Amino acid sequence: MDTNSANSNLKSEDYFINMGPQHPATHGVLRLLLTIDGEIIKKVEPDLGYIHRSIEKMCERDSYQQIVHLTDRMDYLSSHINNEAVCLTVENALELEVPERVKVIRTIIGELTRIASHCLWWGVMGMDVGALTTYFYGFRDREMINDIFEETCGARLTMNYNIPGGLMFDIHPNFVKRTKDFVAHFKTKIPEYDKLLTNNVIFQKRMKGVGILSKEDAISFGASGPVARGSGYSCDVRKYHSYSALDKVTFNEALKSDGDSLARYEVRIQEMWESLSIIEQLIDNIPEGEHKIATNAVIKLPKGEFYQKVETARGELGVFIHSTGTKNPYRLKFRSPGFSNLSLLNHIAVGGKIGDLVASMATLDLVIPDIDR
Amino acid sequence: MSYFGDIYKGIKTLLSGMSVTGKVFLNNKNNAITQQYPDNRETLKMFDRFRGEVVMPHNENNEHRCTGCQKCEIACPNGTIEIIWDRQVDPETGKKKKMIDQHIYHLGMCTMCGLCIEACPTDAILWAQNYENSVFDRTSLTKVLNQPGSKIMPGVED
């Protein structure tokens, strides 16, 4: 019986359900208000604010050294890159040139962070679409990176290793060896990832053609990172506005033009290979030198507005500082990648099934504290 | 693709995926990747830079290195450190000198950012590597870092 046609005798009306804030597929406290007709999604409305901690307001209270540790708590999966963004903004404003050693170490740890974030994403995304094994394998490989961080930075997740002017302390003597071990180990693991999940027919059927985002829409929604690159929009900040030691390395920007969930998935797998190649190019020749340069105990930025953007694991993170010449910023704004990427969820999910919503949301790779701040 | 071709391809990819899990199952029998906590409590040693909690080391004469300059208190982003200090007469020089009465550390508020230890000019406070910080009563998370009756080590100036 055809219930969808207009001349059907059966009446149907829209049904409204909540997805979250404690749904396992929302990876945090994101609440989605779904308007559905049967199994077909008619509208998705994200409801934010469950984990809002007013980080931007707290930044106005803190000194420039103290701001850095707050950014750990935004996108906690790429905390080192967030720290780097704030430090680069402050250093640019002070016209401070950090030593080459600092730049190289920042880039290596940043790429390690990206791999760790993608490992976790790969694991939980597999779990979202029903492959539980990927969860354990993703965490197994991420554990090695976490050990590197713990040995060098002292913490596994909220590292706070960057300070304006350099790094808090020099790298641990074991850092180079451990990183090389990890690169060798992980090179054998990405093919396993492909064998286990990418080539699986069930997985491909769930991802192919689901949540299609065109290039034009990606640009107009302000998408960035792997989400935009899965739609063929070349926007890698590392390529176009390179920072730290990224101008010394050669790497390809991962691009796919299909725009569906599988394309976004493949972009991230490709990015892991590219990050490995960046680390390999830098790890053997970390220049000697100081790990920081002295700054004033109280940093005062000159009057003006300063902006710096970096590429986190999720996309473009921008830091905007309006300074009035005091030791605190007058206003500090973060342009977070997750917020723009979430805004297009309604666009790509409408017309699909609820199961497809989970798949397309998993490939957006949302981190809710990054969106709410 | 034909119906049977689909089935064949599905089973093939399933088996190639299972070959990966099978290898892991057979190879990792004797070395579990996860920490066997709490069974390995005796042998589990954290890395020497691990940020467990802030401590103030004392020597055998019950002397510490804190001059009471309050730089850690200023550097702390969220008021974790409170220093109660007083000016007392130094017995050696006979002049009045700033000395700490209590160096109070609220472990429950600490975000382990490490800015206090970076700021300390005399290396009076350091990271300890203990990791079992859960308690039943939150008042026991407020600690006084300097031991009762302790004095500043002679010769430490900021």
The complex scores an ipTM of: 0.82
Q: Which of B9, B33, B71 sits opposite A201 (nearest CB)?
A: B9
Chain A residue numbers with beta carbons less than 8 Å from the beta carbon of B51 are: 154-155
Smallest CA–CA separation between A146 and chain B, in Å?
12
Question: What integer is the mean pLDDT of A159-174?
Answer: 88
Chain A residue numbers with beta carbons less than 8 Å from the beta carbon of B77 are: 62, 66, 69-70
- Mark whether B71 and B14 lie in a shared domain: no
- Mark whether B68 and B111 lie in a shared domain: yes
pLDDT value of residue A160 = 87
Q: How many domains does chain B have?
A: 2
- Mark whether B138 and B81 lie in a shared domain: yes
Q: Which residue of A has its CA nearest to B8?
A: A201
**Greater pLDDT, B31 or A215:** A215
Q: Looking at the domain assignment, is residue B45 inside a domain?
A: no
DSSP notation for A315-340: SEEEEEEEE-SSSS-SEEEEE-HHHH
Q: What's the burial of B32, exposed, middle or buried (CB within 10 Å: 0-12/13-18/19+)?
A: exposed
Contact predicate A238/A309, CB 8 Å: no
- Mark whether B24 and B66 lie in a shared domain: no
The model's pLDDT over A69-125, given as tens digits with 9 standing for 90+, comes to 889 888 888 899 999 999 999 998 988 888 889 999 999 999 999 999 999 999 888
- Mark whether B27 and B96 lie in a shared domain: no
| Interchain CB distance below 8 Å, B77 and A202 | no
Q: Which of A151, A167, A171, A158 is nearest to A65 (CA)?
A: A167
Chain B residue numbers with beta carbons less than 8 Å from the beta carbon of A137 are: 24
For A52-372, CATH number?
Answer: 1.10.645.10
Query: Could you tell me the residue range of the domain that residue B29 belongs to?
Result: 1-33
DSSP notation for B130-155: ------S-GGGGEEE-SPTT-EEPTT
Supply the DSSP symbol for A29. S
- How far is it, in rounded angstroms, from Cα A43 to Cα A23? 18
- How far is it, in rounded angstroms, from Cα A209 to Cα A261? 7
CB A324: neighbour CB atoms within 10 A? 13
Q: Give Cβ neighbours of residue B114 (< 8 Å, ≥ 6 apart).
A: A154, A160, A168, B51, B127
Q: Looking at the domain assignment, is residue B43 inside a domain?
A: no
CATH number at residue B60: 3.30.70.3270
Q: Which of B46, B71, B111 sits opposite A69 (nearest CB)?
A: B111
Q: Looking at the domain assignment, is residue B40 inside a domain?
A: no
Chain B interface test: which of A195, A197, A198, A299 (most B C-beta within 10 Å): A195
Supply the DSSP symbol for A297. S
Name the pLDDT band for A1 (thresholds 50, 70, 90): very low
Strand pairing category for A331-335 and A316-323: antiparallel
Q: Which of A188, A176, A193 is nearest to A122 (CA)?
A: A193
- How far is it, in rounded angstroms, from Cα A138 to Cα A116? 9
- Mark whether B69 and B139 lie in a shared domain: yes
Q: Looking at the domain assignment, is residue B141 inside a domain?
A: yes
Q: Looking at the domain assignment, is residue B48 inside a domain?
A: no
Q: Looking at the domain assignment, is residue B42 inside a domain?
A: no
